[in-house]
């Protein structure tokens, strides 16, 4: 029986990502090789690259990575490649070589494995479709029926993978290296407190009463991550409007005040703090300066500078009205960005999950909160990204100088899902001095001292939540608010 070939439209961008997986990821090849079939690729060039990678893996038990260039050059010198193969492979390797190290560090094999399984199954189904149609045309209905009954979709149970912590050298080495790798770092005493917890796969939260600077601190982390050219996604779930967020970011990058009200002379008086240290004692001195009000033109001019500093497409902010977006919606948005643009974040900031849309109707408040925080923890693991969120403290925190673990709102299981919980504290006197105090109340790894806080001096007049920091011993602080 003759079989006709039917050309189908394929997802070229996904096929290229799959080939990159073959090139850079040992984990990817190790899993995909179980269902790999060269006929699932659309072109001779793609089949050739996959073949080289599989052969390399079988010999060396690792992905070829940069050695793929050597393999390519050897075959090119042998004059065994067609012109279209050379053009395709040159293009693919050139796109990889520009940011090779970044591609390796941000690559998420688990996600691509799932995509690849779907991609291969689609190809297998298209092949089945063509065969069955041919049998039907030939009036061989029994063969068509057998073909359909014998079809089995490809499956890879990634969760069935296992390791031996005694002997798997690559996995043990990777575990120790990745735990030491922070996504970005903060300077000063605040860095000493937070840096050990700013790692990939972590979920940290900042707990504070309302209007205590939670969103500003979260934005500081965002801007610090961008300075190191990390891909950053911010999800604003209704506490601020699009305009609010744009103005705050503009003020930060321009170091200028903004005003909701039109000021005739276009200038504003600002108090710029200065930290003075004398034998371990810290005082704040304020210098009054007059600065021009931030304009849209200046914000855009400064934005261009930050693009040069951070990269062209490293920053995405997604703004949503309150109670319209769930954690599942955020997951879907991230998947769209990945599938459409191959854009995968390394840091995800969520402001703030307490007002996210409830996942399912009929849930009580506590269970809804628990589901949200479990979803964020899963997000940090699946995307291999640092996730940071802010959360509201309970009513009892308003009269406290020092919050504790018991100052959570709605559901204590928030603490169960995070890798670190930090409180933002402030007395009226500290507020007048542009100071907040940050302390750790719960971390998954390492020790914490509940009596050691970090004072953070800010200047919100110019959009800067973090100017200086210094250690504070809160031993003996009582729970009565200052007069």
SS3 360: coil
Q: Which helix (H) or strand (E) holds 455?
A: strand 452-459
Instruction: Please tell me the predicted confidence (pLDDT) of residue 228.
Output: 95
Residue with tokens 């209905």: 141
SS3 324: coil
Q: Which two tokens stand for residue 293?
A: 């009000």
Cis peptide bond upstream of 352, omega within 30: yes
Instruction: Please tell me the predicted confidence (pLDDT) of residue 99.
Output: 56
Close Cβ partners of 180 (under 8 Å, ≥ 6 residues apart): none
Name the burial class of residue 288, with classes exposed (0-12), middle (13-18) and buried (19+) by CB atoms within 10 angstroms of its CB: exposed
Contact of 328 with 359, CB cutoff 8 Å: yes
Fold match, 12-161 / 179-473 = no
State the CATH class of domain 179-473. Answer: alpha beta
CA atoms of 189 and 258, how far apart (whole Å): 29
Angle at 112 between CA 109 and CA 113, to 5 degrees: 80
CA atoms of 331 and 75, how far apart (whole Å): 42
CA atoms of 95 and 437, how far apart (whole Å): 45
Q: Which two tokens stand for residue 189?
A: 């005493």
Fill in the DSSP letter of residue 257: -
* Residues 184, 190, 191, 197, CA torsion sign: negative
CA atoms of 204 and 347, how far apart (whole Å): 11
SS3 232: strand
Nearest Cα neighbor of 55 from 40, 69, 42, 68 is 68
Nearest Cα neighbor of 317 from 293, 351, 361 is 351
Instruction: Please tell me the predicted confidence (pLDDT) of residue 50.
Output: 94
pTM of the model: 0.71
Q: Which residues are paired to 425 by β-bridges?
A: 437
Close Cβ partners of 479 (under 8 Å, ≥ 6 residues apart): 399, 400, 401, 402
Tell the CATH topology of 12-161. Answer: DNAb Helicase; Chain A (1.10.860)
Rg (CA), the chain: 27
Q: Which helix (H) or strand (E) holds 286?
A: strand 281-292
Nearest Cα neighbor of 467 from 286, 240, 207 is 286
Tens of pLDDT along the chain (483 residues) come to 333 333 333 345 788 889 999 998 888 998 899 899 999 998 899 999 999 999 999 998 889 988 999 999 999 998 888 898 899 988 888 877 655 555 565 677 888 888 899 999 999 999 999 999 999 999 999 988 988 988 888 887 655 566 778 887 877 877 777 656 789 999 999 999 999 999 999 999 999 888 788 999 999 999 999 999 999 999 999 878 899 999 999 999 999 998 876 655 689 999 999 999 998 899 999 999 999 999 999 999 999 999 999 998 999 999 999 889 999 999 999 999 988 888 999 999 999 898 898 877 777 788 888 889 999 999 999 999 999 999 988 766 777 888 876 776 666 677 778 999 999 999 999 999 999 999 999 888 778 888 999 999 999 999 999 999 999 999 877 555 444
Instruction: Give residue limits of the domains in the chain.
Output: 12-161, 179-473
CA atoms of 107 and 110, how far apart (whole Å): 9
Residue with tokens 């089995």: 152
Instruction: Please tell me the predicted confidence (pLDDT) of residue 11.
Output: 45
Contact of 53 with 63, CB cutoff 8 Å: yes
SS3 318: strand
CA atoms of 188 and 80, how far apart (whole Å): 58
Instruction: Please tell me the predicted confidence (pLDDT) of residue 80.
Output: 84
Neighbours of 352 (CB within 10 A): 22
How many Cα atoms occupy the beta-carbon half-sphere of 58 within 13 Å?
Answer: 9
CA atoms of 197 and 214, how far apart (whole Å): 17
CA atoms of 425 and 435, how far apart (whole Å): 9
Contact of 454 with 469, CB cutoff 8 Å: yes
């Amino acid at each position: 029986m003759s079989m006709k070939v039917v050309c189908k439209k394929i997802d070229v961008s996904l096929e290229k990502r799959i080939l990159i997986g073959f090139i850079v990821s040992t984990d990817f090849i190790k899993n995909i090789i179980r269902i790999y079939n060269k006929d699932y690729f659309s072109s001779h060039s793609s089949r050739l690259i996959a073949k080289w990678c599989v052969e390399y893996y079988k010999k060396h038990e690792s992905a070829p990575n940069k050695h793929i260039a050597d393999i390519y050059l050897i075959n090119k010198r042998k004059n065994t490649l067609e012109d279209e193969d050379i053009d395709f492979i040159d293009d693919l390797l050139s796109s990889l070589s520009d940011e090779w190290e970044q591609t390796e560090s941000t690559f998420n094999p688990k996600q691509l494995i799932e995509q690849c399984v779907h991609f291969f199954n689609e190809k297998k189904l298209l092949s089945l479709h063509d065969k069955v149609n041919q049998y039907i045309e030939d009036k061989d209905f029994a063969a068509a029926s057998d073909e359909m009954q014998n079809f089995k979709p490809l499956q890879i149970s990634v969760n069935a993978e296992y390791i031996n912590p005694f002997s798997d050298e690559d996995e043990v080495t990777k575990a120790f290296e990745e735990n030491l790798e922070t996504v970005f770092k903060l300077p000063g005493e605040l860095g000493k407190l937070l840096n050990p917890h700013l790692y990939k796969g972590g979920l940290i939260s900042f707990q504070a009463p309302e209007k205590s600077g939670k969103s500003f601190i979260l934005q500081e982390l965002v801007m610090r991550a961008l300075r190191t050219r990390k891909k950053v996604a911010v999800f604003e779930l209704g506490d601020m409007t699009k305009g609010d967020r744009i103005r705050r970011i503009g003020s930060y990058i321009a170091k200028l005040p903004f005003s909701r009200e039109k000021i005739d002379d276009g200038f504003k008086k600002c108090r710029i703090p200065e930290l003075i240290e004398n034998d371990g004692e810290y005082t704040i001195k304020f210098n009054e300066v007059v600065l021009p009000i931030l304009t849209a033109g200046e914000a855009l001019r400064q934005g261009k500078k930050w693009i040069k500093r951070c990269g062209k497409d490293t920053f995405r902010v997604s703004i949503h009205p309150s109670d319209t977006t769930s954690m599942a919606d955020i997951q879907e948005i991230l998947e769209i960005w990945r599938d459409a643009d191959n854009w995968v974040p390394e840091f995800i900031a969520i402001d703030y999950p307490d007002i996210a849309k409830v996942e399912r109707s009929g849930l009580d408040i506590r269970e809804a909160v628990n589901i949200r925080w479990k979803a964020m923890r899963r997000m940090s693991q699946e995307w291999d990204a640092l996730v940071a969120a802010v959360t509201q403290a309970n009513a009892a925190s308003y009269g406290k100088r020092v919050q504790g673990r018991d100052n959570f709102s709605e559901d204590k299981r928030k603490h169960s899902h995070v890798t670190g919980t930090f409180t933002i504290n402030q007395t009226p006197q500290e507020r007048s001095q542009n100071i907040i105090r940050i302390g750790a109340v719960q971390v998954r790894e390492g020790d914490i001292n509940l009596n050691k806080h970090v004072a953070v001096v800010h200047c919100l007049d110019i959009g800067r939540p973090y100017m200086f920091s210094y250690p504070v011993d809160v031993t003996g602080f009582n729970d009565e608010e200052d007069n």
